[in-house]
A and B are shown apart, each in its own frame.
Chain A
Amino acid sequence: MRYLPLTDAEREEMKRAIGIADVRELFTCIPSGQCRPPLGKLPKALSEPELLAVFREFGRRNGFAAALSFLGAGAHSHFIPEVVSYLSSKGEFLTPYTPYQPEVSQGSLQAIFEYQTMMAMLTGLDVANASLYDGASAAAEAVLLAVRRSGRSRVLLAESLHPEYAAVIRTYVQNLAIELVPVAVEGASGRVSVSDLRSQLDDATAAFVFQSPNFLGVVEDGKAIAAAVHERKAFAVQVVAEAMSLAYLTPPGEVGADMAVGEAQSFGLPLGFGGPYLGFMAVREEFMRQMPGRLVGETRDLDGQRGYVLTLSTREQHIKREKATSNICSNEAWCAMRAGMYLAVMGQAGLACAARACHLNAAYFVRQAAALAGIRVVYARNFFNEVLVEVRKGSAADLAAALKKKGILAGVPLAWFDAGQKNRLLLAFSELHDRAAIDRLLAAIGEAS
């Protein structure tokens, strides 16, 4: 078998060297009643051509690729330069182990150091880590960090957080002495109610976690939020589910956030049916030693050469064990490196161009949609690339189904997350859409509603 290089002759030699006649002698420790279960239900081995054929067949049973998609809500379709795919697929980047032996891992380490720097630049904060699993778990880790650092146990969550992020935060704290308190969204503006926030904040509050742009697509008044939170000496945690927005909107650090966490899949990672994606965390310097996850630091070697190492490792599980800042071990290193490649290739100008196109496309849709009788754009201003649409007649699911018949995936029905929201749909626009595609969407909505 092509993945098993030993020949029978070699196996014989090795058995002789060990002093056994049969390899089964190495497994006598296994209880005999349970040893070598029948594996009859498993299929037989496939040759490489057969394997390709089987997966082509899986692909044929998918119909997504043919559709014109406006799906977002935490996973975004963006342009990925060919160079990114080419470089990230190299065996030297795909197949190394974690860089615990830094002398032979400078490629990985420097690439991640560059990624950390670029994320710090994008978020306007001091330090970014080398990745967490995804935006949702990153938000949960931020809650844990805020509690650890402040010694307080009450955390406020905006109701406009991505519902899956809120769900993951709830899972993470379910057995810990942490109280989660919701803060309301104003229906009229789609933004966090700063007055409700102020009334919920107290001296036992560790942090307020809010998303901007939020799950309804609306950009929050982050400065007002941060000011209110800091009055109570709590931490402002901004969640960013669409990282591309960091290239267009005021960065979290400038807004006044103490931590920024979220999802960086938009930076060069394929949709991949949900994963692997890329959780990011960036914080002010004062939180550095409390951060979960790996960190790459710069130092010098014995000859005075600049080099990179994993550092501040004593926070981590392999040393602190149950007192660690997190249990995370394997992270999204390759995804982070790939995101770094994407950011380098896009560069200052390319990233600004892509982000601008995302917003302008969404804005064009909003303007043109005013002429459609069947729908209403709920928040027609201060969005980035996601737009919440309300269907005037029937349900959002019906509209989505009608458009699906025309090969268009119009958006994510909010009823997926909240059964009460039957008439709302969330549409996402990217730089991959052009005017013709958006016109086609508008025409189809016009016909269907």
Chain B
Amino acid sequence: MAKENLLYSKDHEWVLREGNAVTVGITDYAQHELGDVVFVDLPAVGKGLKKGDPAANIESVKAVSDVYSPVTGKVSDVNAKLGDHPELVNQDPFGDGWIFKLSVDQVSELDELMDLKKYEEYLKGIAGE
């Protein structure tokens, strides 16, 4: 998955837009910070989420992190492979490590996310702190 096509949130989620649906995962930076992922708590298909709601929960050996819904919508699919293979989040965060899909209510909310360039600048800012 080419990273330029994606949008990014301040919580290190990536968003792939396909019409009125999005796929959501976490970035390479996030998986690296978390360490080895041991469990992913997925949302229920059909669940309604507002932008910013905690959608999924990722546990590593030493930390736990919420994955927030980047936009308002309804969960249309979840990556069931993560049940037996949570390590996919570490190994292929932009590909097979995707977490959930949403049908989007308000497409305009996508404009509030960052493009790759802005996200890379954002990462530089964090590193500098």
Contact = CB atoms under 8 A, between A and B. Distances in A.
A343 B63 CA distance: 35
A319 B39 contact: no
Nearest to A318: B62
Nearest to A324: B64
Contacts of A314: 38, 59-64
A313 B63 CA distance: 9
A198 interface: no
A113 B78 CA distance: 34
Interface string B39-58: 10100000000000000000
A392 interface: no
Contact of A320 (B39, B60, B61, B64): B64
Contacts of B39: 289
Question: Which among A289, A313, A314, A319 has the highest number of chain B CB atoms within 10 Å?
Answer: A314
Question: Which among B38, B41, B64 has the highest number of chain A CB atoms within 10 Å?
Answer: B64
A319 B61 CA distance: 10
Chain A contact residues (Cβ within 8 angstroms of B): what range?
Answer: under 10
Contacts of A289: 39, 41
A320 B59 CA distance: 10
Given A314-B38, A323-B64, 13 more contacts: A289-B39, A289-B41, A313-B61, A313-B62, A314-B59, A314-B60, A314-B61, A314-B62, A314-B63, A314-B64, A319-B62, A319-B64, A320-B64
A240 to B, nearest CB: 30
Nearest to B39: A289
Contacts of A323: 64
Contacts of A319: 62-64
A266 to B, nearest CB: 35
Contacts of B59: 314
A314 B41 CA distance: 13
5 contacts: A289-B39, A313-B61, A314-B59, A319-B62, A323-B64
Contacts of A320: 64
A320 B57 CA distance: 11
Interface in A396-436: none
A105 to B, nearest CB: 17
Closest 3 CB pairs of A and B: A314-B64, A314-B59, A320-B64
A323 B57 CA distance: 11
A313 B61 CA distance: 7
Contacts of A313: 61-62
Interface string A218-253: 000000000000000000000000000000000000
Contacts of B62: 313-314, 319
B8 to A, nearest CB: 25
A320 to B, nearest CB: 6
A313 B60 CA distance: 9
A250 B114 CA distance: 60
Interface in B91-106: none
Contacts of B61: 313-314
Interface string A291-327: 0000000000000000000000110000110010000
Nearest to A323: B64
B54 to A, nearest CB: 9
B42 to A, nearest CB: 13
Nearest to B60: A314
A38 B64 CA distance: 48
A321 to B, nearest CB: 10
Interface in B60-93: 60-64
Contacts of B41: 289
A306 B61 CA distance: 19
Interface in A49-69: none
A393 B128 CA distance: 83
Nearest to A151: B44
A323 B58 CA distance: 13
